[in-house]
Amino acid sequence: MSLKDPKLRWLDEVYAPAKSRAPERAERFVTSSGIEVAPLETPDAAPPESYLDKLGFPAEYPFTRGVQATMYRSRLWTMRQYAGFGTAEDANRRYHYLLQSGQTGLSVAFDLPTQMGLDADNPRAQGEVGKVGVSLCSLREMEVLLSGIPLAEVSTSMTINATAPILLCLYAAVGEKSGVPLGQLSGTVQNDILKEYIARGTYVYPPEPSLRLVTDLIAFCAKHVPRWNPISISGYHIREAGSTAAQEIAFTLADGVAYVEAALRAGLEVDAFAGRLSFFFNVHNNFLEEVAKFRAARRTWARLMKERFGAKDPRSMMLRFHAQTAGSTLTAQQPDNNAVRVALQALAAVLGGCQSLHTNSRDEALALPSEESVRLALRTQQIIAHESGVADAVDPLGGAYHLERLTDELEARAEAYLRQIDELGGMVAAIRRGFPQKEIQNAAYAAQREIESGHQVVVGVNRFQVEESPPTGLLRVDDSVEQVQREHLATLRRARRAEPVLRSLEELRRAAERPGENLIPHILDSVKSEATLGEISEAMREVFGEHHESVVL
């Protein structure tokens, strides 16, 4: 029996009179993607085969309900707090503090010079050394960063893109020196260069050689580092730049399609590498839309891998993801409110089936987080895990009528974007034409207009303000870090043997000139010779050149 007629009767005879007696709030009932929120959802009386096609069961295609059969009943998500600042010594102390507080995986933040392939003594690095992440230029500093960390037991995520191959090689070299072979290392490098051209800007080389480095790392890890995720395809920064939830799904998965296509062109078999692809998503404020977003992303990716790329291994179709609460939603006003925002966002990530999670600290709109704030952010995850009960059931919100409609609608909108990108010739071509950039800019502008008009309430900012004293006790990175790092580099260059450094860098340059040759073994040799991050990056710059953004109007 269809519920259409009874639902229409209810809307007409019950809902409408109640609405006339008590008019609804002035806010418009729409999600960030512009999806209208109906007053009531009901089942659509679809046949059983439709349920199996759209939802199915956890750990089975299309993975809408999760990639693991038992989800958190067997193993909680990895609590992986993103951290790093100052010198390797400073960051190492923070990592030990987090591990002692119950964190279960590392997540390394690097400063801008490290992300851009610049040593700390490069004039272009001035003023940025150690400010938004740890400054790391050499194998010796990586050894200090990881001192006392059991690399065979702890998985490490490194948020690094243009220089991801260098950082993984530094990590691998430390593992080898400490008796942990490549096959035992586990973790992730972000290595998602396309989203840098779309939303973030920490690229070094033009797109083609950048994609070569991405696929070289995927191939190297598939063969030598099987427990390592060689890429984390990131929607986080796309959302931070102002996209909607639907755009975050679409542009992230379109980047993923481009990487799969590049790997196939490089001669890899899809099922040889696709099972180690991972993703990184934002968790924004609209609670139910965010839960639905993760479900829609899983289902869309599974179908892409099966239908477009002919994947046979179920692991190749699974979208495994790390989530981070939304930095763009944090406010400098009434910063304690941020703890509430983060708790709700974290809960949405868990109910959406994340594999690992970072929760932002309440003071991050003002400065680097203090130890007290970091502990509270971690405790937020631990309370959700151990006290709320939401981890006890597999996909506890599955089947909720409103949630399933949101999932369907987000999937449909994401697929429409994917078709547009295909028509433009794929994501690289779309980026060159400025398509995703323009769509994100328009969405960000519309969202800001909603806030400025008051239609979108931001508590403490455009409503419910209070008089506040200036914040105190904020963590600042001292400018002396830059001088310390310069001195470390000078000491290294005096102490190391010059001949192996020069030889390894020349071999790397020659390999870069030979299309089709995997560069990772040459980068690893350069790292072991004690060439610096900046020197290795410069050797490839000499061959590949640098990318300079051109604005498309």
Structure confidence by residue, pLDDT tens digits, 138-194:
999 999 999 999 999 999 999 999 999 999 999 999 999 999 999 999 999 999 999
Contact 163, 205 (CB under 8 A): no
3-state DSSP percent of the chain in helix, strand and coil, to 5: 50, 10, 40
CA distance 362 to 366: 9
Q: According to DSSP H, which parts of 178-282 are helical?
A: 194-195, 207-224, 236-240, 245-265, 270-273
pLDDT digits (tens, 9 = 90+) for 3-19: 667 778 888 888 888 87
71-105 burial code (b ≥16 CB/10 A, e <16): bbeeebbbbbbbbbbbbbebbbebbebbbeeebbb
Provide the token pair at 266. 């490089």
* Residue 145 CB partners (closer than 8 Å, separation 6+): 88, 91, 92, 95, 108, 134, 136
Q: Is 473 left (phi over 0), alpha (psi -120 to 50) or beta?
A: left
* Residue 386 CB partners (closer than 8 Å, separation 6+): none
Fold adopted by 49-452: TIM Barrel (3.20.20)
Q: Which DSSP category does 307 fall into?
A: I
Reported pTM: 0.92
Number of other CB atoms surrounding residue 265 within 10 Å: 10
Collect the ranges in the chain with pLDDT lower than 70.
1-4, 24-28, 44-48, 550-553
Contact 191, 223 (CB under 8 A): no
Q: Between the CA atoms of 499, 505, 510 and 513, what dihedral angle is there, to the nearest 10 degrees?
A: -170
CA distance 197 to 187: 24
Per-residue confidence (pLDDT) for residue 129, from 0 to 100: 96
Contact 534, 118 (CB under 8 A): yes
Per-residue confidence (pLDDT) for residue 551, from 0 to 100: 53
CA distance 63 to 295: 8
Per-residue confidence (pLDDT) for residue 2, from 0 to 100: 60
Q: Which DSSP category does 304 fall into?
A: I
Q: Which H helix or E strand runs over 381?
A: helix 371-386
Number of other CB atoms surrounding residue 179 within 10 Å: 9
Contact 486, 120 (CB under 8 A): yes
Per-residue confidence (pLDDT) for residue 553, from 0 to 100: 47
